[in-house]
Amino acid sequence: MTDPDTGRVEAFDAVDVIRAKRDGGAVPEDALRWMIDAYTREYVSDAQMAAFAMAVLLNGMTRDEIRVMTDAMIASGERMSFEGLGKPTADKHSTGGVGDKITLPLAPLVASFGVAVPQLSGRGLGHTGGTLDKLESIPGWRAALTNDELFAQLRDVGAVICAAGTGLAPADKRLYALRDVTGTVEAIPLIASSIMSKKIAEGTGALVLDVKFGSGAFMRDVERARELARTMVELGTDSGVATTALLTDMNTPLGLAIGNANEVRESVEVLAGGGPADVVELTVALAREMLALAGQPEADVEEALRDGRAMDTWRAMIRAQDGDPDAPLPAPRETHTVTAPSSGVVTRLDALAFGIGAWRLGAGRARAQDPVVHAAGIDLHAKPGDEVTAGQPLFTLLADDGARFARALEAVEGAWEIGPDAPTPAPIVRERITG
């Protein structure tokens, strides 16, 4: 085939690649690399790539196919390297959840041990919050850094949380948007290659994946979450990045804060040696994984939270990006507290429902271009296993516009329960997956 615009003779035909996957076969490596490159160049149309993505959803891909596709997506853009830093690098990726502010305390905690943490993060969409949205609650803080600024901050401070540049895996940006409107978001090979192409291109030496399952997670089913985790660990391993994954429970919101400013406040509590037990537990577990992969398996991460090292790094990280760590965070104009109708034990708080409730209060966005209300969200006053008495506050809705309370209350109706007996405690980290 010849591209009529450039006169370039194309090595393959997109229809042949689509048919191969449609019929359950494996696509040859050179044909698959061509497909990704030609789509990036806009020679392969959205309609053709949508057909290919649906074929992948229905028929899957082999480990080698996923590796090749991921590598082709990396090759569509720039690849960063941190070899000149003179210290190991480690990163973390979470598949997202409700109240998941773990990146905020985790990055400075790991960096306090001399490991550079280049955390390229994103914004929220729907019921899952975005790390950058949370940090933009801090007056003056900016997400956009040049590569030179990023390198300098990693060298001088050790931790960076910032927006990813447009040069990393541009093929993924096109394919991600296409999957969203063609019913192919759930294809595990496409999810894995999307996440890992950016993380591998980022240039980190070690990567820990927090793959969540449950009502508030992208993957509700634990088996599919495990499959995704294994696929991503294989991709990292095959690409020479030391990679492990933790399978973590997202049936209940993490911590007591769901939103933006309130999640920053809770993260600072963790860095000060306090904070909710579940947030501390997961932060410590992920820090241990990252430090072990970076060559420090015996690091005492709890001590770094107690003695102020992690907090010092947090404050330096915020200042380096023009934020004021001492400035007051945004406060809501309106609040509405829901109290316990009876005495007993909280047995359930559904993560998805509370995530949607916070979203409806303004903490999230329905479209990528929508703004978020940094003061909006939900503060929980009790979690499953806690005893409550009739009339005791259960949770408080936070908003700048009281008219939002009605729809938020609709979202959480029936999403919490009080019973006579405490539920059986379940660990947050259910499984560790290695290469």
43 and 89 belong to one structural domain? no
CA atoms within 13 A on the CB side of 339: 7
402 and 294 belong to one structural domain? no
Averaged over 256-264, what is the pLDDT?
A: 97
Quote the pLDDT of residue 5.
Answer: 61
With a cut of 80, say whether residue 190 has pLDDT above it.
Answer: yes
Cβ contacts of 6 within 8 Å, gap of 6 or more = none
Question: Domain of 33: which CATH number?
Answer: 1.20.970.10
In-domain check, residue 65: no
Among 327, 361, 392, the domain boundary falls at 327
Dihedral sign of CA atoms 70, 208, 246, 380 in order: negative
Question: Domain of 279: which CATH number?
Answer: 3.40.1030.10
Q: What percent of the chain has pLDDT over 90?
A: 85
Quote the pLDDT of residue 176.
Answer: 85
Among 327, 346, 376, the domain boundary falls at 327
Residue 130 to residues 69, 225, 408, Cα–Cα distance (Å): 27, 20, 19
Quote the pLDDT of residue 274.
Answer: 96
Averaged over 210-215, what is the pLDDT?
A: 97
- Map tokens 């915020």 to a residue: 318
299 and 370 belong to one structural domain? no
Bridge partners of residue 211, in order along the sequence: 247
In-domain check, residue 429: no
In-domain check, residue 210: yes
With a cut of 80, say whether residue 255 has pLDDT above it.
Answer: yes
Quote the pLDDT of residue 6.
Answer: 63
53 and 97 belong to one structural domain? no
Structure confidence by residue, pLDDT tens digits, 69-128: 999 999 999 999 998 899 999 999 999 899 999 999 999 999 999 999 999 988 776 667
> How many structural domains is the chain composed of?
3
In-domain check, residue 133: yes
In-domain check, residue 119: yes
Quote the pLDDT of residue 3.
Answer: 59
Of 21, 76, 31, which Cα lies nearest the Cα of 187?
21
Bridge partners of residue 340, in order along the sequence: none
Averaged over 308-314, what is the pLDDT?
A: 97
Are 190 and 184 a contacting pair, CB within 8 Å?
yes
Compare 177 and 3 and report the one with higher pLDDT.
177
Structure confidence by residue, pLDDT tens digits, 117-158: 999 988 776 667 789 999 999 999 999 999 999 999 999 999
Quote the pLDDT of residue 129.
Answer: 72
- Determine the 3-state secondary structure of 259 from DSSP: strand
Q: Which residues span the domain enclosing 383?
A: 334-419
Quote the pLDDT of residue 173.
Answer: 87
Quote the pLDDT of residue 367.
Answer: 73
Of 232, 201, 165, which Cα lies nearest the Cα of 74?
201
195 and 263 belong to one structural domain? yes
With a cut of 90, say whether residue 185 has pLDDT above it.
Answer: no
CA atoms within 13 A on the CB side of 42: 4
Of 91, 149, 94, 144, which Cα lies nearest the Cα of 124?
94
Compare 287 and 7 and report the one with higher pLDDT.
287
Kindly give the interhelix angle for 188-202 and 170-180, rounded to the nearest 10 degrees. 150
- pLDDT range class, residue 1, cuts 50, 70, 90: low
Q: Where are the alpha helices (DSSP H) in 249-348?
A: 261-271, 277-293, 301-306, 309-320
3-state helix, strand, coil in the chain (%, to 5): 45, 15, 40
Cβ contacts of 340 within 8 Å, gap of 6 or more = 382, 388, 389, 390, 391, 392, 393, 394, 418
Quote the pLDDT of residue 72.
Answer: 96
Quote the pLDDT of residue 180.
Answer: 80
240 and 375 belong to one structural domain? no
Q: Annotated catalytic sites, by residue? A: 93, 172, 179, 194, 198
162 and 253 belong to one structural domain? yes
Angle at Cα 207 formed by Cα 366 and Cα 174, nearest 5°?
40
226 and 129 belong to one structural domain? yes
- pLDDT range class, residue 231, cuts 50, 70, 90: very high
Quote the pLDDT of residue 218.
Answer: 87
With a cut of 70, say whether residue 7 has pLDDT above it.
Answer: no
Structure confidence by residue, pLDDT tens digits, 347-362: 999 999 999 999 999 9
22 and 135 belong to one structural domain? no
With a cut of 90, say whether residue 386 has pLDDT above it.
Answer: yes
In-domain check, residue 427: no
Name the strand (E) or helix (H) holding 209.
strand 206-213
Structure confidence by residue, pLDDT tens digits, 10-54: 889 999 999 999 999 999 999 999 999 999 999 999 999 999 999
Hey, what are 371's tokens? Answer: 């703004």
311 and 396 belong to one structural domain? no
Averaged over 242-265, what is the pLDDT?
A: 97
In-domain check, residue 435: no
156 and 237 belong to one structural domain? yes
Quote the pLDDT of residue 165.
Answer: 76
Question: Domain of 346: which CATH number?
Answer: 3.90.1170.30
Q: What is the DSSP string of 337-405?
A: EEE-SS-EEEEEE-HHHHHHHHIIIIIS-SSTT----TT-EEEES--TT-EE-TT-EEEEEEES-GGGH
Compare 341 and 426 and report the one with higher pLDDT.
341
In-domain check, residue 9: no
354 and 394 belong to one structural domain? yes
Quote the pLDDT of residue 125.
Answer: 65
- pLDDT range class, residue 4, cuts 50, 70, 90: low
Quote the pLDDT of residue 364.
Answer: 87
Mean pLDDT score of the chain, rounded to an integer?
94
Bridge partners of residue 398, in order along the sequence: 335, 377
Among 29, 60, 91, the domain boundary falls at 60
